[in-house]
Structure 1
Amino acid sequence: MTVLVTAATGQLGRLVLDHLLARGVEPTSIRAGARRDPERLSAYAAKGVEVVHLDYDDAETVTAAMQGVDRVLLVSGSEPGIRVPQHQNVVDAAAAAGVQQLVYTSAPKADDTTLVLAPEHKATEELIEASGVPATILRNNWYTENYASDLEAARATGTLVSSAGDGKVASAPRADFAEAAAVVLTEDGHVGQVYELGGDEPWTPAELAAALGEVLGRDVELREVSTEEHVAILQQAGLDEGTAGFVAALQTNTREGTLADSDGTLSRLLGRPTVGLVDGLRPLA
């Protein structure tokens, strides 16, 4: 069995490589796709992992990387607005190569949510279904690491600014989601499944502020603001108007409950509880 991990130079991709190796997959059975900077994977190459050029925007590199592959992890692209055609290249190549399983990292409830990031994920899921490639969909909730900037702001100001109201987030560290991906890539019985993955204990902004305070060893005050105020604060901090609006929209989504659900699927795949908020934030401090 040969496993291809796309976007393997990214944070999630490298963690998946780690977990595949930890699960006993032979390094020579792992192919790591690098869009750029393949030297970042030199430590894996030294272990026997095959490092190949794979650029989502270059269909020829995707097709070449897919040859002889049995299972593929499609890590969703990181550039909103162009992800669907990028993913199309991977799906088409997987179909042409006769891949036995395509695993895709999607978004929570991608087919029925107001989450601002969801439309491209929904479109990709539809591409995969139409292709006929056997697939597993991993609808990953938020990574705890997404709050690294909040931790730094809290370190500097003792404040967490939020326009998310009492909305909850079922986050888990990126490593938990990476391990789940390694599980479904190395075990049978996951083809055809759509997994909603989230941390065991969804938390509110107030609980995030308390967790930040515990990790930093100082009091952290929650400052609740309106969406408009939040956009202004983000722009004052240096974000452009579009980025500030996008971040605020995600806070609105959180307030609406789009990231709140967790049914325990992630912990069942892992065979253990997910890592909690405080322990997930500690490595960032």
Structure 2
Amino acid sequence: MILVTSAGGKAGRAVIAALVARGIAARAFARSAAHSEALKGIGAADVAIGALDDDAALLRAMQDIDAVYHICPNASPHEVAYADAVIAAAEAAEVPRLVYHSVLHPQIETMPHHFAKMRVEEMLFSSELNFTILQPTAYMQNILGERERMTTEGLYRVPYPVETMLSLVDLDDVAAAAARVLTEDGHAFATYELVGTAPLDQNEIAATFAAALGREVRAEAESVKAWQARARIDGMDEHTVTVLTKMFVSYAGDGLKGNPNVLGWLLGRKPTTLAEFAARVAVQPKA
């Protein structure tokens, strides 16, 4: 049985689905019981409810567990505290393996949510656990926030220059790699960068979706202030607005560039290309 934390999020759901596809039982750890039905619907064998700072709930969830896949909620201000609690519970429960869902280039101090993950990696080095660290780059799925605009207006809008170079990865590939690392020997104390594409600029991303959608799509930069205003209208909290703003500024300066070789080795095939992803989602119903 594999325990997946923050299982109600898109990464947690993807990892559970990948484990189920391999015939592996997964226990979902979610903050709210409202996620239970959906998690069982994708095949979770069990759902444990609790917060990531609830020591007793974590310890209960880790009983009879073969490995933990730890994901912190995106841009959480409690990344380090949550990881401290998860690591302590895993040590107390004598869990044989912990795999940590980190991020590509956690060394970048100008992105606080990246830098916090490097602090967690450091904690793992000092722990008694058999651990593996996975470092995925930005998900292709993040582009889907602009899917309707691309379809109706032919516009792909980003809060950084269109020349910004980003390496992307299909979340399904991340989940498949996670499932392999969780269930196979030979990955102890490894750190793997999970990158699906060479760096792409935003014009290339727009052109790729244009080909899949069968219509012209143009990339356009919007100001960070305009993005902030929309995010607040949509109900985003101020901490997340601040963290993502710093990420966009970092992207504008340096991009986020990686290499797909490691992911290809883990998958035993080439990672999903952006063209393959765009073709797949172009025919899927809108969420």
TM-score interval (norm. to shorter): 0.7 to 0.9
**2:176/2:267 contact within 8 Å kept:** yes
Are residue 259 (structure 1) and residue 256 (structure 2) matched? yes
Helix, strand or coil: the match of 1:256? helix
Helix, strand or coil: the match of 1:110? coil
TM-score normalised over the length of structure 2: 0.85
How many residues align? The count is 275
State the shift of 1:132 in Å. Answer: 2.1
Are residue 219 (structure 1) and residue 216 (structure 2) matched? yes
Q: Name the CA shift for 1:180/1:192 in 2 (closer, same or farther; >3 Å).
A: same
State the shift of 1:57 in Å. Answer: 2.8
User: What is aligned with 2:10?
Assistant: 11
- 2:60 maps to a residue whose letter is A
User: What is aligned with 1:66?
Assistant: 62
Q: Name the CA shift for 1:178/1:124 in 2 (closer, same or farther; >3 Å).
A: same
Residues 193-228 of structure 1, C-alpha deviations (whole Å, 9 max, x = no match)? 011111133311110111232233221222346xxx
- In structure 2, distance between residues paired with 1:221 and 1:4: 42
User: What is aligned with 2:76?
Assistant: 80
Q: Name the CA shift for 1:55/1:224 in 2 (closer, same or farther; >3 Å).
A: closer
- In structure 2, distance between residues paired with 1:79 and 1:244: 9
User: What is aligned with 1:122?
Assistant: 118
- In structure 2, distance between residues paired with 1:238 and 1:5: 29
User: What is aligned with 1:239?
Assistant: 232
State the shift of 1:182 in Å. Answer: 0.2
| Identity in percent | 30
RMSD value, Cα: 2.4
**1:231/1:245 contact within 8 Å kept:** no
- In structure 1, distance between residues paired with 2:225 and 2:127: 44
- 1:41 maps to a residue whose letter is L
Are residue 138 (structure 1) and residue 134 (structure 2) matched? yes
Residues 142-188 of structure 1, C-alpha deviations (whole Å, 9 max, x = no match)? 11011122233333432233423533222111111011100100110
- In structure 2, distance between residues paired with 1:212 and 1:98: 47
Helix, strand or coil: the match of 1:19? helix
Helix, strand or coil: the match of 1:137? strand
- In structure 1, distance between residues paired with 2:28 and 2:245: 35
Helix, strand or coil: the match of 2:257? coil
Are residue 201 (structure 1) and residue 198 (structure 2) matched? yes
**1:108/1:258 contact within 8 Å kept:** no
TM-score normalised over the length of structure 1: 0.86
- In structure 1, distance between residues paired with 2:60 and 2:51: 11
- 1:24 maps to a residue whose letter is G
User: What is aligned with 1:178?
Assistant: 175
User: What is aligned with 2:21?
Assistant: 22
Gaps of at least 5 residues in structure 1 are: none
Q: Name the CA shift for 1:43/1:237 in 2 (closer, same or farther; >3 Å).
A: closer
- In structure 1, distance between residues paired with 2:185 and 2:15: 17
User: What is aligned with 2:275?
Assistant: 278
Helix, strand or coil: the match of 1:188? coil
Are residue 90 (structure 1) and residue 83 (structure 2) matched? no
**1:136/1:193 contact within 8 Å kept:** yes
